[in-house]
Structure 1
Amino acid sequence: MSDTSRSPRASTVARRVPVTLGLAGILLLVGLLGGGLWSPFSASPLFPDIAYGLPALVEGRWWTPITGTFFVDAPWVYLAGVPALVAMGFFEYTRGSRLTAVYFAGGQLFSVLGAAAFLAVASLLPWSWAQQQAGVLDVGPSGGVFACIAGALAVLPSPWRLRAWTVFAAALSVAFVYYGSLPDLEHVLAVGLVLAVDRSLRPQRVSVREQRLIAFVVVCALGAIEILGYVAPMTGPFGSSAATSGSWVDVAINTVIVLVVATALRRGRRWAWILVLLYCVANVLLVLAILGILIVVGLSGIEAQLDTDVTSILASSVLWIVASVYFVLVRGAFRARPRAALGDATPPSVDEVENELRATGGGTLSWMTTWEGMSYARFGRGIVAFQRRSGVALALGDPLGPEADRPTTVRRFVERAEAAGLAPCFFSAGESTRAAVPEGWRSLVVADDTVVDLPGLQFTGKAWGAVRTSLNRAQREGMTFRLTRLADEPWGVRQQLRAISESWVGDKGLPEMGFTLGTLHEAADPEVRLALAISPAGDVDGFLSWLPVYGEGRVRGWTLDLMRRRDGGFGPVMEYLIGSSAQQFSAEGAEVLSLSGAPLAHEYPPDAGAIADLQARMATLLEPVYGFASLHRFKQKFHPRYETMYLLYRDEADLTRIGAALTRAFLPHATLRQFAAAGIDLVRQER
C-alpha cells in the first residue's frame, strides 16, 4: 500500500476519534509542563492542590476531581496507558464522540466521588484498609478510561463480548483483591457503573464451551492471587501479608500447575474439575479450622502463631469457596471424552455409508467420505464423516442422508463434539450446511467447485477451441482413450500408473496429500473409474480417476480426483482426457462432471478485505509446490459453473486448531523434516 493511500485513511480515523486524541494531547502537554513525563508528580509541590481523594474534598478542594484528571503520577503510566487509550479510541470510532465523552466524564466523576463516599463510610468501621485508603490522594483519568474500555467491550460481537468481559472482570478482581489501591477501587466503580447502565454482560444460555472458558479464567485468576503471594505482599481490602518465602522455582511450578489444570478445564476434562472441587473442599475445611481456632485463642493469638494476617488467608479461601458454587452449577460441562463416539447410535460401517450414499445421494465430494481414516457419527438417517485432528472434529463436506434431516444432523454433531471437548467444523461444505449451522458461526470460502453440466454438451464454437484442438491432435497422433477400472488393467499398465504417480510425488518434497485428495489406493475402489491416455507405443501418457456422485439411486455424475501425466508424453493430455471423459459420461446419461475445487483459488470481489489478502498470500507461497492457481486456470478451459465451498467454524478462536487439523489431515504422513524442507523451499522461491 502506498503512502498516499495510507494518509487519507489515517486522517479519516483521526477525525473519528477527537475525544481520545484530545485527551492524549492534554495528558502529554500537562506532563511536559508539569514534569510528570520524567519524574513522579506526587513529589511535586502542586500535588496536594491538584490531586483528588477524600482528604481533598474534606478540606474543601472541590475542583480536584477535574484538575486531577489530567495529571499522571508516574512516567511509566504514560507508556502503560497507550493500550487503554487505543481501546478508548476503538469505542469512540464505533459508538461516536458524544457518547465517548459522556462515558469518560461520567465514569471519571463517579469513580472519584464514589470512591470518596465509600471510603468516608467504610473508614468509620474497624477496617484498616479503608482507613488507610481514606487518607490517599490520586491523579489520573483512569476511571473515565476504564469506563470507555467497558463500553468498548459491549461493542464486541458474541461470543467475544462475554469472553472479554470475563477476562476483564477477572483482571480487575485480582488487582482489587490483592493490591486494593485507591485507583483499583476507582476502576471497579467505573466499570460497575457501565455494567449497571448498559447491561452488556448478560450471559444468557451460555454454551458448554463458554462455561469451560469461564472456568479457565476463574482458575487462572484465583491461581494468580495465590502465585502473587510469592512475588509481592498482599495489601488488598481483605487483609495484608508479607510475600511468601520461596524461590522462582516455586513460582514456576505453581504457575505450570495452575495452567495445566485450567487448560484441562477449558477442554472439559473431568479429572481437572474433580481436582478443583477437592481444592475447594480443602479451603472449606481450612476456613472452618481457622474459625474454630479464632474462637479458642482469638485473632491476635492465631496471627502470632502463624506470623501472618489471617484475614488474607480467609479471603483467598472464601474466594475459592464462592468459585466452587459455579463449578458445581456447571458440572455437566466437564464430562468430555475426546475419543468417545459422537453419534447417537453405533457408528456405521463403510459399507453402510456407501449404501446410504446410493440411496439418498450426496455432493460432489461425498464419495471421499468412504476413504480410510474417516470416522462416522450417526444421527437417525443422517451421517457425518469426520476426522479427529489436533482437538478438532473435522467434518468433510455436507452430512449424508435425507436433506430434510440435515439441520438436526448438523446441530447434534456440533453438540456432541463440543461435549467431547472437540472444536467442530465443516470443511468444503455447501450452502445448505452453511444455513444449518448454529447462529453466529463464521464461514470462510476455501474453494470453488467447478461443475460442468453434461446434458447436450458439445465442444463447438470458439470458446471450446483448446479442448477441440487437443481431441483432434490426439486423433492425428494415434492416441487412444480408455475408460476403465484399475483392477481390470493388466500388471504392466498398473506399474506404469504407479511409476507416474511416484515421479509426481517425488518432485514435491512432501508425501501425497490426503483428506480430499486421493491416491492410487483410493483409485483401486471398484466404484472409481480411470481415464487412460495410451500412446501408439502402448505407454500411458496420463490418467485421471473419477469418483461417483450418487443421486436418486443412481450415479448422476463424476468427480475428478487424480490427475497425473508422464514426463515427455502427449502435450495436451489433460485436456484430451477430461474432454473424452466428458463425452463418454454424457453419452452414458450422467448429468454433471465436477472438476473439483482448487484450494486457495477463489476469486474474491474487490472489497473482500483481509480474508482475500490472506488467502492470496498463501496461494502465492504454495503455488510453486502444488499449483492450485494454475490448476484453477486450467479448469476454466471447460467453462464450468462455480459452487462455493466453505469452511464453517464457531469463531476465530478455533482457527489455529483448525489450521493444525487441516495440515495433519492433508499431510498425515509428513514428518517435521519434510515440513521444514518445504518451508525453506517456499522462502527461497518467494525471494
Structure 2
Amino acid sequence: MTDAVETEPRHPVLNVFGRIPATLTMIAVILAVGVVFAGLWSPFEDNPLYEPVAYGLPALLEGRWWTPITGTFFVNHPLVYVFTIGSFVGMGYLEFRRGSRVALAYFGVGQLFAIFAGALLLWLFALLPWPWAQQEALALDVGPSGGTMACLAAAAGLLNAPWRVRAWAILLGFSAVTLFFWGSLSDLEHALAIGLVLFVDRSLRFQRTTVREQRLIAFVSVLALLAIDVLTFLVPTDGPFGHTDARDGSLIDLAIDAVIILIIANGLRRGRRWAWVLGVILGSFNVLTGVVLVGLMFVPGASIESSVGDPSVAIAQSAIWLGLLVYLIWVRGAFRARRKATIGVGDEPTLDEVKEMLRSHGGGTLSWMTTWGGNSYARTSGGIVAYQKRAGVAIVLADPLGPAASRSDSVSELIAMAEGAGLIPCFFSASEATKDAVPTTWRNIVVADDTIVDLPGLEFTGKAWAAVRTSINRAGREEVTFRMTRLRDESWGVQQQLRAISEMWVGDKGLPEMGFTLGTLDEAMDPEVRLAIAVSTTGDVEGFLSWLPVYGEHGKVRGWTLDLMRRRDGGFGPVMEFLIGSSAKLFSEEGAEVMSLSGAPLAHDYPPDAGAIASLSDWLANMLEPVYGFGSLHRFKEKFHPRYETMYLLFRDESDLTRIGAGLTRAFLPDATLRQFAGAGVELVRGERD
C-alpha cells in the first residue's frame, strides 16, 4: 500500500500558461530572434539581412521561396514588438479553447494566405494605372501579423453573444480604416487574413443579433466615421486613393459634420426612424460622391482637386459609408422607435386592474410593491408587468403578474417591447422563474436573498429561538404591548408618533427614504397593509413594522412581507425581535403560510468560486454599511431561521450596467439631491476609515 501524495493546486495563471504552449513558444522564438539579430533595440529594416528574409511580391518573383517562413519571425522596428506580442492574445485564447493544433493551423494558414494572396492582388492591381498598387508591389514586409490577425478573428468567433458580433465589428472596422487610409502592405495582409476567417468560419451573423445590438453597431459605426474625420484632419494619410496632409481642410466644416453625425448617432442608438432616414441619406450622398470621384480619376484632363480638395479621404470614406449603408438597409427593422413610444399591448392598465390581477392569480413576496406610486404598467398578451422608466432603462420590478403559465411569455414580450421603444430592459429582484424565462445569453447578478419563514406549525421552542422568547418575555415584564392594526385606523396622535420615529431614522442617514422596493408611511396607509405596533404603558410607540399582503390564487392572502422597520431611540431594546416574533405567531394562528422578512441587498452568501461578482458585492456592502446597514440587517434576520430564495438583477450584458446603475439609483432615490449624495459619500469614506 502506498501513501497518496498530496500536491498543492497550481496558481490559475500557471494553469492558463500550461494550456497555451504553442503561443508561448511562438512568442519566445520571436523574442529570441529579436535578441540574436538586434531587432529588439535597432530597426531591423535597416539590417542587411532584411531583404533576404522579408516576404512580398518582389521576393516571390525573384525566387526567394523561403521568405514567407523566415519573415514570420522578424519584426521591422523595436516599437512594433509591443503590438506584435500583444496580438498573440487571439492565438492564446484560441489555443486555450480549442487546443494547440487548431491554433497553429489558423496561424499558419492565415499567415501564408495573407502573404500569397496579398502578393497576387498587388501583381494584378499593378497592371492598372494605380500608383498605390504599383508602389506596394515593390514593398517587402516581415512579421507574424497575418497569422495573429487570423487567430484574433477565429477567437472572435468563439465569444458568446453579443460580444462575438462586437469583436467582429471592431476587427472589420480596424482593417477597413487602416487599409483605406494608410494602405501599407501589412494593412492589406491584415484585411485578407481577417476576410479569410470570416469566409471560412461564418460566425458573423448580423441577422441573429438582437434589435438593441443592431442599433449599437450602427451607433458605434457612425461614431467611428466621425473619429475617422477627426483623425484624417489631424494626421496625414497615404492610402490606396492618394495622400493627404495634416489639417488639410476646413475646421468649420469638420465641426458642422461632427454635430450632424453626433445627432444621427444618438438617434440610431435610441432606434429612431428619423435618424435612420438621415443616416441613409447621408450615406447615399457619400457613396455617390465617392463613385463620381473615382470616375473622374479616369477621365483624361479632369481636375477634381480644385473643387473638393484631395479626393483620397472622400473616396476612402465613401467606401466605408457603403458598408454602413448596406448594413442600415439590412437591419432597417431595428429603427422604428417613436419618441413617445409606450410599452404594452393596448391601453396602460389601471392600478385597480393591477390589484385585481394580484388577487386573482397571486404573486410573489414583492408583488404588492408593484402597486406603489412611481410604477408604470405594460399589458402583455397574458398578464401585466410593472416597471419604472429611469435613465433610458425599463426597470421591471419583481416578476410579471398574471397566470403562472403566461409569465414566461410576458417576460419575452416585455423585452421586445422595451427594445422596440429604445429602452434598455432589465428585471430587478426577479425570481428563479423569471431568470429561466429571459434569453440564455442574458447575464444575472444576485441582488439579495429573500428571507422566508414558514409559518405552519411555528413554535418558538429550543435554544435557537432563545432571543425571540427572551424579547417576548421581557416585553411582558415591562408591560410593552403588541397590536396588529392598520395605519389609517390609528389616531392622529399615534400617526404623528410614527412619523416622528420615521423622520428621525431618515435624518440619521443623510439621504431621503429609499423607494422602489422600500416603502414609506405613505405606502403603509393602504388599507390592505397591516401595521404591527409596540406600545409602552405610557402610550409611547416603541417601534413598528408594516406588512404587505402576499396573495395566492382566488383572492386568498397566503402570507405577509415585511416592509418598514422603525424603532424609537432610547426605547424598548429588543422591540424588533418582539414585533416580528409576535407578528409571526399571529399570522400562523390566522393560517398564513409564509412570512417574508424581505431581502437585505448586497448581503448574499456567495460560494467560494463566485469570482469577481462576489468580490464587488462584498465591497459595495462594506461601503454602504455605515449608511444603510444592509449587512447588519441580514444578520438580524438570521435570528428567525429563515430559508432563502435568491433574487436577481437580470440584464442583457455588461455594457448595460452603467445605464442600469444610474436608473436604479434614481428609482431608489428619486428625490435625492447632489448635496445629499455628497453627504452620503463623506459618510462612506468615514466608514471605510473605521
Q: Which amino acid aligns with 1:368?
A: M
**Aligned equivalent of 2:465:** 464
Note the C-alpha offset of 1:86: 2.9
Q: Which amino acid aligns with 2:36?
A: L
Moved more, 469-478 or 255-264: 255-264
Would the aligned equivalents of 1:167 and 1:217 in 2 still touch at CA under 8 Å?
no
Q: Secondary structure at the match of 1:57?
A: helix
**Aligned equivalent of 1:275:** 278
Residue number among 553, 558, 561 corresponding to 1:559 in the alignment:
561
Q: Deviations over 1:543-578 (max 9, x none)?
A: 000111111212111110000001111111001001
**Aligned equivalent of 1:34:** 37
**Aligned equivalent of 1:618:** 620
Note the C-alpha offset of 1:20: 2.3
Q: Secondary structure at the match of 1:501?
A: helix
Q: Are the structure 2 counterparts of residues 12 and 329 from structure 1 closer, same or farther at C-alpha, using a change threshold of 3 Å?
A: closer
2:633 matched to 1:631? yes
Q: Deviations over 1:523-553 (max 9, x none)?
A: 1111111100001111101000011111121
Q: Which amino acid aligns with 2:434?
A: T
Query: Pairwise mapping of residues 318-397 of structure 1 onto structure 2 (< 5 A)?
Result: 318-337=319-338, 339-397=340-398
- Write the distance in 2 (CA, Å) between the matches of 1:108 and 1:294: 34
- Write the distance in 1 (CA, Å) between the matches of 2:634 and 2:291: 71
Query: Pairwise mapping of residues 393-408 of structure 1 onto structure 2 (< 5 A)?
Result: 393-408=394-409
Residue number among 109, 128, 131 corresponding to 1:128 in the alignment:
131
Moved more, 278-287 or 641-650: 278-287
Note the C-alpha offset of 1:191: 1.4
**Aligned equivalent of 2:598:** 596
What percentage of aligned pairs have identical amino acids?
62
**Aligned equivalent of 1:483:** 484
Would the aligned equivalents of 2:625 and 2:687 in 1 still touch at CA under 8 Å?
no
**Aligned equivalent of 1:518:** 519
**Aligned equivalent of 1:189:** 192
Q: Are the structure 2 counterparts of residues 609 and 317 from structure 1 closer, same or farther at C-alpha, using a change threshold of 3 Å?
A: closer
**Aligned equivalent of 2:435:** 434
Would the aligned equivalents of 1:174 and 1:224 in 2 still touch at CA under 8 Å?
no
Residue number among 45, 60, 63 corresponding to 1:60 in the alignment:
63
Would the aligned equivalents of 2:549 and 2:557 in 1 still touch at CA under 8 Å?
yes
Would the aligned equivalents of 1:441 and 1:651 in 2 still touch at CA under 8 Å?
yes
Query: Pairwise mapping of residues 540-555 of structure 1 onto structure 2 (< 5 A)?
Result: 540-552=541-553, 553-555=555-557
Note the C-alpha offset of 1:271: 3.0
- Write the distance in 2 (CA, Å) between the matches of 1:294 and 1:646: 61
Q: Which amino acid aligns with 1:604?
A: Y
Moved more, 505-514 or 221-230: 221-230
Moved more, 569-578 or 486-495: 486-495
- Write the distance in 2 (CA, Å) between the matches of 1:139 and 1:48: 10
Q: Secondary structure at the match of 2:509?
A: coil
Would the aligned equivalents of 1:548 and 1:558 in 2 still touch at CA under 8 Å?
yes
**Aligned equivalent of 1:107:** 110
Q: Which amino acid aligns with 1:515?
A: F
Moved more, 24-33 or 342-351: 24-33
**Aligned equivalent of 2:3:** none
**Aligned equivalent of 1:666:** 668
Q: Are the structure 2 counterparts of residues 263 and 37 from structure 1 closer, same or farther at C-alpha, using a change threshold of 3 Å?
A: farther
Note the C-alpha offset of 1:432: 1.7
**Aligned equivalent of 1:677:** 679
User: Unpaired segments of 5 or more residues in structure 2?
Assistant: 1-6
Residue number among 150, 154, 159 corresponding to 2:157 in the alignment:
154
Residue number among 594, 607, 610 corresponding to 1:608 in the alignment:
610
- Write the distance in 2 (CA, Å) between the matches of 1:7 and 1:551: 52
Q: Deviations over 1:216-272 (max 9, x none)?
A: 233234334433331334432344444552477865665565344323312212332
Q: Are the structure 2 counterparts of residues 613 and 6 from structure 1 closer, same or farther at C-alpha, using a change threshold of 3 Å?
A: farther
- Write the distance in 1 (CA, Å) between the matches of 2:294 and 2:64: 44
Note the C-alpha offset of 1:54: 0.9
Q: Are the structure 2 counterparts of residues 174 and 420 from structure 1 closer, same or farther at C-alpha, using a change threshold of 3 Å?
A: same
Q: Which amino acid aligns with 2:619?
A: R
**Aligned equivalent of 1:74:** 77
Q: Secondary structure at the match of 2:208?
A: coil
- Write the distance in 2 (CA, Å) between the matches of 1:165 and 1:484: 62
Would the aligned equivalents of 2:305 and 2:311 in 1 still touch at CA under 8 Å?
no
Q: Are the structure 2 counterparts of residues 216 and 83 from structure 1 closer, same or farther at C-alpha, using a change threshold of 3 Å?
A: farther
Q: Secondary structure at the match of 1:502?
A: helix
- Write the distance in 1 (CA, Å) between the matches of 2:167 and 2:220: 10
2:646 matched to 1:644? yes
Note the C-alpha offset of 1:112: 1.3
Q: Are the structure 2 counterparts of residues 17 and 256 from structure 1 closer, same or farther at C-alpha, using a change threshold of 3 Å?
A: farther
**Aligned equivalent of 1:504:** 505
Q: Are the structure 2 counterparts of residues 538 and 643 from structure 1 closer, same or farther at C-alpha, using a change threshold of 3 Å?
A: same
Moved more, 209-218 or 544-553: 209-218
- Write the distance in 1 (CA, Å) between the matches of 2:218 and 2:212: 10
2:269 matched to 1:266? yes
Q: Deviations over 1:101-128 (max 9, x none)?
A: 2222221122112211221222122222
Would the aligned equivalents of 1:384 and 1:399 in 2 still touch at CA under 8 Å?
yes
Would the aligned equivalents of 2:454 and 2:594 in 1 still touch at CA under 8 Å?
yes
- Write the distance in 1 (CA, Å) between the matches of 2:295 and 2:191: 33
- Write the distance in 1 (CA, Å) between the matches of 2:347 and 2:286: 44
Q: Which amino acid aligns with 1:35?
A: A
- Write the distance in 1 (CA, Å) between the matches of 2:79 and 2:287: 41
**Aligned equivalent of 1:425:** 426
Would the aligned equivalents of 1:103 and 1:147 in 2 still touch at CA under 8 Å?
yes
Q: Deviations over 1:330-378 (max 9, x none)?
A: 2221122364220011011112211211121111111100111000001
Q: Secondary structure at the match of 1:235?
A: strand
Would the aligned equivalents of 1:108 and 1:190 in 2 still touch at CA under 8 Å?
yes
Would the aligned equivalents of 1:443 and 1:648 in 2 still touch at CA under 8 Å?
yes
Q: Which amino acid aligns with 1:393?
A: A
- Write the distance in 1 (CA, Å) between the matches of 2:392 and 2:140: 51
Residue number among 84, 92, 97 corresponding to 1:94 in the alignment:
97
- Write the distance in 2 (CA, Å) between the matches of 1:636 and 1:473: 20
Would the aligned equivalents of 2:91 and 2:107 in 1 still touch at CA under 8 Å?
no
2:53 matched to 1:50? yes
Relative to the length of structure 1, the TM-score reads 0.94
Q: Are the structure 2 counterparts of residues 10 and 327 from structure 1 closer, same or farther at C-alpha, using a change threshold of 3 Å?
A: closer
Q: Which amino acid aligns with 1:638?
A: F
Would the aligned equivalents of 1:449 and 1:643 in 2 still touch at CA under 8 Å?
yes
Calculate the aligned-residue CA RMSD, in Å. Answer: 2.3
- Write the distance in 2 (CA, Å) between the matches of 1:142 and 1:286: 34
2:302 matched to 1:301? yes
- Write the distance in 1 (CA, Å) between the matches of 2:23 and 2:256: 42
